[in-house]
Structure 1
Amino acid sequence: MRAVVIGAGIVGLTSGIALRRSGIDVVVHEHAPEIRAAGAGLGLWANALSVFDELGIGEQVRAIGKPSEMYFHDPAGRLLDTPEFGAEDHQYLLVHRAKLTDLLADTVGRDNIRLATGFQSYDEHDDHVTVRFTDGTSEDADVLVGADGAYSAVRAQLVPGFPAQEHAGHQVWRAVIPATGFTVPENRLILGYNRCRGGYVRTYDGHVYWLLNQFDSPPLTGTRKQQALERVVHLQEEGQDSLLADLIAATPEEQILQNQIMLVPPLPHWVSGRVVLAGDSAHAMSPHITAGATLGIEDAALLGHLLAPGADVPAALARYQAIQIPRYEHVAELSAAVEHAPTPEEFARHYAAFSHWMISQQPQRPEMHPEKHTVQA
């Protein structure tokens, strides 16, 4: 069996690893001329780490990450406690996106990745799918995996009329900088006023990752740094010193990432007979729940379990959809409860409820095939 994966991001590469481990011949196509990660820090929850353990690279992933905790404070520095949830519901691993992407690409095998070959279209047949690329080439496969993100070209053909849309007024700023010159005694995530939240976490290599976001943001003016500094005041009490403000001020303008958050609306279907969506191409959501990558990694793992040489591809993809669409309907409900929590205390409680559910209610997967083994790059 042969699979074509579109997109060499975290979910696309993890899909390639999972499918290879199932004994499937995989080629990953990426429209960019090089593999590059968009973004800075990335949180991986326990369910993502269990996938990487299963794929034989868990220790390598942990080696490029730093154990962190998702607890929130108010602007006065008070901990917003959630005593009904355990410590495990707050624990995650913070990794650098670029380092994780490189590790996954090495594990897939660089020879199995085709760069500068953007997806153009596909033709689906009873027994195969023909995939056409922007460089004029084409390839036949048993299954096509669209892991090409919120602006997915595969989704545009599979589910026309469902483009990515703005999460109106939701803006985010973030960066990773050296911690030189700063004392960062602990990680701190703050729920502030005017629908702002933000904070900073220490990375494994002596850097610090800071972020700030705002729901219902007014129109943006000024530079990215000015925009962030205008909002950081909502995360501190009047007259209080702010390490987050100092970190923002010390960040070179060109290192600050700023994005309008985009969402993928609920889709009527994720699959056809031989085409399937995974990750943000199927369910891009607001990053205020900081679980998009973890949930997409679960998609990849499930495809690896359901597909194997000799499998009934349409039946396997139908099973994938039957498991995942209801799961993401519930994810959307939990995410909305966090976003629309009327107080910081309720935000913290709803967030812990989401992470508890996500970690404890992982998708049911068939047993691993006994012949599977760790992928070697």
Structure 2
Amino acid sequence: MGNTAVVVGGGIGGLAAAIGLRRIGWEVTVVERAPTLQDAGAGISLAANGLRALDELGVGEAVREASRGQYSGGTRTPQGGWLTRMDGTALEKAVGTPIMGIPRSTLHRLLRAPLRAEALLIGSEVCSVERVGPGTARVDCGDRTLDADLVVAADGIGSKVRGRLFPDHPGPVYSGSTVLRGITEKAVGLRTDFELTWGHGAEFGHIAFNDGRAEWHAVLDLPARTRFADPPAELRRRFRDWHDPIPALLDATRPEDVLHHDVHELRTPLPSYTVGRTALLGDAAHAMTPNLGQGACQALEDAVTLAAALAAEPTVEAGLARYDAERRPRSQAVARAARQAGRMGQRLSHPVAVALRNTAMRLTPSRLATRMILRHHAWVPPQLG
């Protein structure tokens, strides 16, 4: 079996894949098109399955130290009433860890730490990936060419590699929701670690960090490419009557730190996550809506599973076949569940439907709610050695 790989994309999934491949003895080069590593992004919640994957990659302890456990909070109405309460202690007892909140920029830095600086090609655009022999793939980056035994396409939801491998696939589609998010400039006084608030066609949530700052996000059901001349002012207008600490979170964020992205997903599942010596990973393989908080966790699962499969099988082809067989059913099932969660969450707008949902949530026993969460969190990673 060969032992050289090129990972296309330096995000969470790509960096995790590079770490996993290095842990099984492969030489890895990560190609990232961004000219500088600005570590853009807001915050992220990591569930038990993602944390277990990070443990297997050898960075779990560092990530936990930089994260804040989500023990308190839950889901609320705009007036402040509770629909469900989070029981982080019960979840920790069930799966060994609470959900952890961490800035994306911090997670990116921790994932880059195990990699040599020369293994990261920054500001390089992948122009093409071609098979040049029975066991070799060639990655053309314009100013340089890399030959490898394996190519891992972790180049995000708009993956150009996926487009070349599956030219007839419809690609990502707009989910119907757009999201604005940011991180507060300084510490804010919060009574809970994590909250979601569901209105009619709108959602607001926050994640508390261990330094006292917080990430917040606002999800709105709007036509694709809707943009605002003054995003903070628009958010204050839309959420002015919603409960505390929503106005305070908006006021504590600098206008230039507000990000705005439309939410897309791969609604049509891919028929395979591998073609030849190329494996698709993360959003390039199964971009999903964020309603279950599983996008990054599924990419981390991909990374560990790919490395373990390649280590266990006698050939790259056999390893990739095993990776596809293990990852495609689970990740696509999670993507379907995330889409359904969105339909039953902030996307509901009819007053009767909202009232029925809210009543059902208030009447659901906490043990049953925890059991539903465990369907996605209770994943055991394969061992990398």
Q: Assess same fold via TM > 0.5.
A: yes
Cα deviation, residue 362, structure 1? 4.6
Structure 1 counterpart of 2:384, from 364, 368, 375 = 368
Flag the 1:267–1:13 CA change in 2: closer, same or farther, 3 A. same
Q: 2: distance between equivalents of 1:222 and 1:83? A: 36
Q: Superposed, which structure 2 residues align to 1:38-53 within 5 Å? A: 38-53=40-55
Other-structure match for 2:272: 269
- How far did residue 217 of structure 1 move? 6.1
Q: What SS is found at the alignment partner of 2:113?
A: helix
8 Å contact from structure 1 (residues 36, 101) kept in 2: no
Identify if the C-alpha distance between structure 1 residues 48 and 188 changes in structure 2 by more than 3 Å, giving closer, same or farther. Answer: closer
Counterpart check, 1:214 vs 2:220:
yes
**Unaligned 5+ residue runs, structure 1?**
237-241, 370-377
For 2:193, the equivalent position in structure 1 comes to 187
- Of all paired residues, the percent bearing the same amino acid is 29
Q: Structure 1 residues 50, 6: CA separation in 2 closer, same or farther (over 3 Å shift)? A: same
Q: Choose which of 130, 141, 162 in structure 2 pairs with 1:133.
A: 141
| Contact in 1 for aligned 2:196/2:206 (Cα 8 Å) | no
Moved more, 23-32 or 204-213: 204-213
Aligned to 1:374: none
Residue 97 (structure 1) aligned with residue 100 (structure 2): no
**2:211 aligns to what SS in structure 1?**
coil
Determine the C-alpha separation between the residues in 2 that align with 1:184 and 1:281.
36
Q: CA deviation at 1:175?
A: 0.8
Q: CA deviation at 1:156?
A: 1.3
Query: Which of 166, 176, 187 is the aligned partner of 1:159?
Result: 166
SS at 2:82 equivalent: coil
Q: Distance in 2 between matches of 1:159 and 1:284?
A: 15
> d(CA) in 2 for partners of 1:345 and 1:215?
23
SS of aligned partner of 2:114: helix
SS in 1 for 2:215: strand
Q: What is the letter of the counterpart of residue 155 of structure 2?
A: D
SS in 1 for 2:36: coil
2:376 alignment partner, SS class: helix
Aligned-residue Cα RMSD (Å) equals 2.7
Tell me, which stretches of 5 or more residues in structure 2 are unaligned? 345-352
The range that moved more, 271-280 or 57-66, is 57-66
1:17 to 13, 16, 19: 19
Of residues 147-156 and 83-92 in structure 1, the stretch that sits farther from structure 2 once superposed is: 83-92
What's the CA shift for 1:103? 1.5
Offset of residue 161 of structure 1: 3.4
CA shift for structure 1 position 351: 7.7
Inter-partner Cα distance in structure 2 for 1:164 and 1:126:
29
Shift of 1:203: 0.7
Aligned to 1:172: 179
Counterpart mapping for 1:38-77 below 5 A: 38-69=40-71, 71-77=74-80
In structure 2, C-alpha distance between the alignment counterparts of 1:42 and 1:345, rounded to whole Å: 29
User: In the alignment, what sits opposite 1:149?
Assistant: 156
Task: Verify the 8 A CA contact 1:29 1:118 in the aligned structure 2.
Answer: yes
TM-score, normalised to structure 1, is 0.87
Equivalent residue number for residue 239 of structure 1: none
3-state SS of paired residue (1:368): coil
Give the aligned residue type for 2:375. Answer: W
**Residues 185 and 254 in structure 2, CA contact (< 8 A), matched pair in contact too:** no
Q: Which residue of 2 aligns with 1:285?
A: 288
| Contact 1:196–1:235 under 8 Å retained in 2 | no
Deviation of 1:83 after TM superposition, in Å, equals 9.6
Rounded to whole Å, the distance in 1 between the matches of 2:64 and 2:199 is 35
- TM-score, length-scaled by structure 2: 0.85
Q: Quick one: structure 1 residues 84 and 109, their matched pair in 2 at CA, closer, same or farther if it must change by over 3 Å?
A: closer
Equivalent in the alignment of 1:260: 262
CA distance in 1, matches of 2:180, 2:40: 13
- Indicate the residue corresponding to 2:208 in structure 1: 202
Q: 2 CA distance for matches of 1:132 and 1:199?
A: 42
Q: Once the 2 structures are TM-superposed, how far is the Cα of residue 353 of structure 1 from its aligned partner?
A: 5.8
Task: String of CA shifts for 1:175-200, please: whole Å, max 9, x gaps.
Answer: 111344x4222235233322212122
- Greater displacement, 120-129 / 7-16: 120-129
Give the partner amino acid of 1:52: L
- Is the alpha carbon distance of 1:84 and 1:45 closer, same or farther for their aligned partners in structure 2, counting shifts above 3 Å? closer
Give the total of aligned pairs: 360
Which aligned pairs between 1:231-270 and structure 2 lie closer than 5 A?
231-233=238-240, 235-236=242-243, 242-265=244-267, 266-270=269-273
Q: 1:347 to 1:41 in 2, by over 3 A?
A: farther
Distance in structure 2 (CA, Å) of the matches to 1:260 and 1:208: 22
> Taking structure 1 as reference, are residues 287 and 41 closer, same or farther at Cα in structure 2, changes over 3 Å only?
same
Provide closer, same or farther for how the CA distance between residues 109 and 356 of structure 1 changes in structure 2, counting only shifts above 3 A: same
Deviations 1:115-157 (A, max 9, x none): 121111111232111111132x111111100011111111111
TM-aligned CA distance change 1:287 to 1:72, over 3 Å: same
- Which amino acid letter does the alignment assign opposite residue 99 of structure 2? Y
Q: Check the 8 A contact 2:50/2:298 in 1, yes or no.
A: yes
State the distance in 2 between where 1:223 and 1:345 align. Answer: 36
